[in-house]
Structure 1
Amino acid sequence: MNFLAHAWLSRQGSDDFLYGNLVADGVKGARLESWPPAVAAGIRHHRQVDAAIDRHAEVLRLLRMAPQAQRRFAGIALDLVWDHFLASRYPDARLVERCYRVLGERRAPSRLEGMVPAMIDGDWLQRYADFDFTCRAIAGIGQRLRGPNQLAALTPWLREEYASLEAAFVALWPDMQQRFRE
């Protein structure tokens, strides 16, 4: 649920395009005909970004480094870690306010219905600058998954590998910006 990274990579588009990027994780399936064209384009853009980041050499390297028991869940945690580095290195209050406005004006897909108001009210996108908050958010996502909270179990590794995560972000983010240049 890396809202901030997707917002950064789609910020030059219309509000509908941005909205599609922000809610894409709540949209299932490939059939997007029921969505306005710019929202559908945003959903497709979000999925292209996810596919590119999941195949990036830095992400693959970090996944190999992750503890074996939590490796399957590490990609979820890394998504929020990228938002942490964006919020801490490149704070953009105007973009965050735009995201909150765009999300607040429309109804979120049912999978995100409860989370979006909490995100806006709690100002999560700016609070991701605090790594402790980001780790709590990662653990919170783990509470919504079945079984033991593997994401909470992963947070000590994230703290230990903070320098490696930051180095990966420094390599990864310019690549993503280049690939998804506005």
Structure 2
Amino acid sequence: MNFLAHFLLSANDEDLRLGNFLGDLVKGRVERYDHPGVTPGIKAGIRLHRAIDSFSDTHPVVRRTKQRIAHRYGRLSSVIVDVYYDHVLAREWATHGEGTLPAFADDVYRTLRGNLGRLPEEIHPLVHAMTQGDWLTGYADIAYVGRALRGMARRAPVARDIGTAAEELAAQYTDIAADFAEFFPQLQAHCTALVAAHRDDQSASSEQRATPPGPSPF
């Protein structure tokens, strides 16, 4: 899953959003991640990001979508399908999202800009690019997706072949959207359970601060 899905699955929780945003940046054990402003909630968001990726990477429907383009893109199919799914999510926002997509995107941008000081400096350019370029609503436009994929191809030589991937998205949209419609509610249910367990743990910790909290559900 890509940025839009990760933000949606963060349950409108600012710390979970920030941690989910940092998920690809933070390597190694989350409990050892140390940065000014990082809270247990942000660390839970990083774990949630990893749980989303793990659930998605091993899901048979996601594998089916990857197989639709594997003949052309091979191992790059995983990266491409993440972008495809954000496109479908944006297009089908009325079914899978909350409120309107522009309003949701504006709220995410508010979270990122308002908490910039809590995020590592190396990710600040990404925040500025995303908020100024309105990436989240842009995903709904297949022409925008094509430009994004071509930009990824230019920036990363290893991904140079993905610049044409919007062609496959347009040609196979109906099948890819059907895959997404089958898969995404399962991912939402999985994340809803994880977030509920996290909140139960946080509530218990606040009531019994003298007692060390249990292990994170993520």
Matched with 1:162 is 173
Q: How far apart, in 2, do the equivalents of 1:65 and 1:180 lie?
A: 26
Distance 1:31 1:21, change over 3 A: closer
**Is the 2:152–2:159 contact (alpha carbons within 8 Å) kept by the matching residues of 1?**
no
1:93 deviates by: 2.8
Q: How many aligned residue pairs are there?
A: 181
Matched with 1:146 is 157
Q: How far apart, in 2, do the equivalents of 1:86 and 1:146 lie?
A: 28
- 5 Å matches for 1:22-171? 22-33=21-32, 34=34, 35-90=38-93, 91-105=100-114, 106-107=116-117, 108-109=119-120, 112-147=123-158, 149-171=160-182
More deviation, 159-168/38-47 = 159-168
1:136 deviates by: 1.6
Q: How far apart, in 2, do the equivalents of 1:82 and 1:109 lie?
A: 27
- Larger RCO: 1 or 2 (CA < 8 Å, sep 6+): 1
1:170 deviates by: 0.9
More deviation, 113-122/30-39 = 30-39
Distance 1:73 1:113, change over 3 A: farther
Distance 1:27 1:61, change over 3 A: same
Give the RMSD, CA atoms, in angstroms: 2.0
Matched with 2:2 is 2
Long gaps (5+) in structure 1: none
Aligned-pair identity in percent equals: 31
Q: How far apart, in 2, do the equivalents of 1:10 and 1:148 lie?
A: 28
Q: How far apart, in 1, do the equivalents of 2:112 and 2:89 lie?
A: 20
Q: How far apart, in 2, do the equivalents of 1:94 and 1:54 lie?
A: 29
Q: How far apart, in 2, do the equivalents of 1:28 and 1:52 lie?
A: 18
**Is the 1:21–1:43 contact (alpha carbons within 8 Å) kept by the matching residues of 2?**
yes
Give 1:54's aligned amino acid.
Answer: D
Structure 1 residue ranges (4+ consecutive) displaced by more than 6 angstroms after TM superposition: none
More deviation, 130-139/117-126 = 130-139
Matched with 2:189 is 178
Who wins on radius of gyration, i.e. which is larger? 2
Give 2:161's aligned amino acid.
Answer: Q
Matched with 1:11 is 11
3-state DSSP of counterpart to 2:23: helix
